[in-house]
Amino acid sequence: VATLHAAAPHQRARGRQGPGILVRPGDVRLPVRQGREGNLILFCLDASGSMGARQRVGAVKAAVLSLLLDAYQRRDKVGLVTFRATDAEVALPPTASVEVAAARLATLPTGGRTPLAEGLLRAREVLRVERIRDPRRRPLLVLVTDGRATTGPDAVGRARQAARLLAAAGTSTVVVDCEQGRVRMRLAADLATTLGGQYLPLEGVAADALTDAVRAHTAVRTERGAA
């Protein structure tokens, strides 16, 4: 209809006298998407045993619920993968429901060693499945870790390989460094480099800081999509 409206006023100038409308390429109007596709925000959380494990879990849970409060307007989905002991699990499959998230996240176990590679691979699988379900949704992986890997043979090497697989898939990533103590090994920074992602050091992982970081990141991506 918009194409016809654009062409109609010019019919006499174009020499059109019979029925029908002469349409030229400059008249063609097409619908253009304005970057309104939603985001898929997948947290990947180190829930292994440490002094800050419960604080990290509490902060991430609060951030997930906070992000879901405006998920309807932003058309976002949020999910959570946790890794601890010897494996990783999908604690919250990607959802846009605050009620579902609150029920699933009521209790999350902590403790044990750190299977970083398993966490990254499980996150990669969740993102792969969601990409098939909705290829227009923009994925963002938020990895909350100090970068340590202590579970299984060649734990560090396997974690780096998993990170390279995520980077090869073009996964947009924010690495939130939750390392504590005076002596910092900066393993999370190295991991962010391997992932090709943004490195975000935080002095104590807090829900507000996590939420603000994610919102700032997705806002930039939405503006680029609209442009």
Reported as a single tens digit per residue, the pLDDT across 138-194 is: 999 999 999 999 999 999 999 999 999 999 999 999 999 988 767 678 899 999 999
| pLDDT at position 56 over 50 | yes
Look at residue 81 in the predicted model and tell me its pLDDT: 97
Helix (H, G, I), strand (E, B) or coil at 81: strand
- Amino acid identity, position 206: A
pLDDT above 70 as % of the chain = 90
- pLDDT in the model for residue 227: 46
**Cβ atoms of residues 141 and 42 within 8 Å:** yes
The verdict on pTM exceeding 0.75 is yes
Q: Where are the beta strands (DSSP E) in 132-183?
A: 138-145, 172-177
Q: How far is CA 23 from the centre of its chain?
A: 44
User: Which pLDDT band holds residue 34 (cuts at 50, 70, 90)?
Assistant: very low
Alpha carbon of 181 to those of 45, 178, 186, 204: distances in Å?
19, 10, 12, 11
Structure tokens at 161: 């390989």
What the block records as the tokens of 43 is 């947290």
pLDDT for residue 44 is more than 60: yes
Structure tokens at 170: 């073009």
Residues in the chain: 227
Q: Domains (ranges, CATH) in the chain? A: 1-31 (no CATH), 39-226 (3.40.50.410)
- Radius of gyration of the CA atoms of the chain, in A: 23
Give the angle 70-201-170 at the CA atoms, nearest 5°.
65
DSSP E strands, 33-76:
39-46
Q: How far is CA 199 from CA 11, 134, 221, in A?
A: 59, 27, 17
Nearest-10 crossing angle of helices 53-69, 207-226: 40
Q: How far apart are CA 169 and CA 195, in angstroms?
A: 10
How would you classify the pairing of strands 77-84 and 87-95?
A: antiparallel
The stretch 182-211 carries a mean pLDDT of 87
Which DSSP letter does residue 45 get?
A: E
